[in-house]
Amino acid sequence: MYAPRTDGAAEGDNPGPAATGEAAIWRPCPDVPEDLVGRTAPSMKYECASVAVPQDWANPSGSGTFEIAMMRARSDRQRDRIGSLVLNPGGPGGSGIDTAVYLSFGAALGGLPDEITERFDIVGFDPRGVARSSPVECISDTDLDATFGADPDPGTQAEFDSVAAINKRVGEGCGAKYGDRLTLFSTEQAARDMDAVRTAVGDEKLTYLGYSYGTLLGATYAQLFPSKIRALVLDGAVDPGQDMVAGSESQAKGFERAFTNFTNWCAQNGRRCPIAPDARGAVTEALEKARVSPVRGSDGREATAGWVFYAVISSLYTEQGWQELASAIAELRGGNATGVFDLADSYAERDSNGHYSNLFDANMAVNCADSTAKPSLAQIRSYQSQWRERYPLFGAALAVGMLPCAYWPGKRDPYPTGAARGAPPIVVVGTTGDPATPYEQTAKLADMLGVGVVLTWEGEGHTAYPQTECVTRAVDRYLIDLEVPQAGLRCPR
């Protein structure tokens, strides 16, 4: 998903962060795209800057500062510039800078349309605690290997306790390093940072594209700064009204539905699916065999049930991943774990040297700071049993996935919810087959905001823009001309 981070600046090149409320001081940084993808996009110029923000917006003068790293991609073909299009890819923990690089390469390579890059600077920022912005780093590569390799559905109490012990060790380590400061990585704090980013790039009002968790960040911004919004596109909606338990069960349902869609595709496309006709049976068998006799990969790791499970999860984020999953499971049957590790490592952001980005550290810091629910171990064990019955492949794992916050130290700082009174229309995009942010959440977010307009893609995978002509056309018109899509517009596959 994202490559190891670098800000692309040589020693002494950084002019220092802009103070909150001041304009950013930009410097060339072509090294960022060169390090990520090996080159810069044609006709694009890349510049980096940072802005200093209070660590605690509730105590701005007495809490020190974080540096928020930013990058903008500006087209040489820009005309009639509107302003900046600010991005967040989700996670939480995803790098907006990396995303801005990928999206700067144009529609032919899966990036933004020329109509957008010719009217906007494409601005990515890494939220506080993420990548280049005062990153949270408190989980060792060894503990992350143990976390991702652990059985996603530990059967016996002893096995459950073993998985819980990993999470306890992680929580204690992060608490020892950061203490009460872990509370400062909440979504509300990040949304206030985003307003500082808006000021630093020189925009009177914010134009924003948020994916997945980025929809929650955008919705929180709309709560706090409704009059500062020009246009918000929220793609892959998170329902802010759900707690951790409801959100985890919703994801279990979404992934189960997406997996069923994959198995149906497999049954209908046997030549392209080497585990047809019973793909569900093949994956279930692979998980069971991995528990008893895991295949050893070329780097010495064992492809345990955890790694197989995350390979499945990773593949369901795009319809293109379905064939990769089928091939990986077929290869695993033959004793080759390469495909499984390729998929799982991409999801975990683990490089070929066994080093992880700080995605997981930041993800835990944000999710646990936000969460008001802190289920007990007994409750998690109960959900594991209940959800396994409802969602056979994913339910138990999503329940066990709540363990990190059960041990996470620090106070909670929940984000505000409710109507974004005074905000202009906000476009909320949903994909009917989305596994990670199930489609049902789209209308819930739009309704909560009070100014949300739902745009539906009847497709598969996680998020929609700019993958389809219908969705792209509607979103482009909104971003450029503030033309709101027709209410209830549904875009076919």
Closest to 43 in 3D by CA, of 93, 141, 111, 142: 111
List, in order, residues 6 or more apart from 151 with CB less than 8 Å away: 159, 163, 291, 304, 305, 306
What's the DSSP call for residue 83?
A: E
Tokens standing for 86?
Answer: 């600010």
Sheet containing 426-433: order of strands: 27-28, 44-54, 65-75, 120-125, 83-88, 206-211, 229-235, 426-433, 452-460, 490-491
The one catalytic residue among 153, 193, 434, 476: 434
Active site residue 434: yes
CB distance 215 to 236 below 8 Å: yes
Q: 272-298 b/e with 16+ CB inside 10 Å = b?
A: ebbbbeebbebbeebbebbbeebbebe
The one catalytic residue among 50, 104, 133, 212: 212
Active site residue 212: yes
What's the DSSP call for residue 61?
A: T
**Residue 466 preceded by cis peptide, ω within 30:** yes
Measured between alpha carbons, how far is residue 321 from residues 28, 51, 346 in Å? 35, 37, 12
Tokens standing for 302?
Answer: 């064992």
The one catalytic residue among 98, 104, 235, 462: 462
Evaluated on CA atoms 292, 296, 302, 308, the torsion sign reads negative
Q: Which residues are part of the catalytic machinery?
A: 212, 434, 462
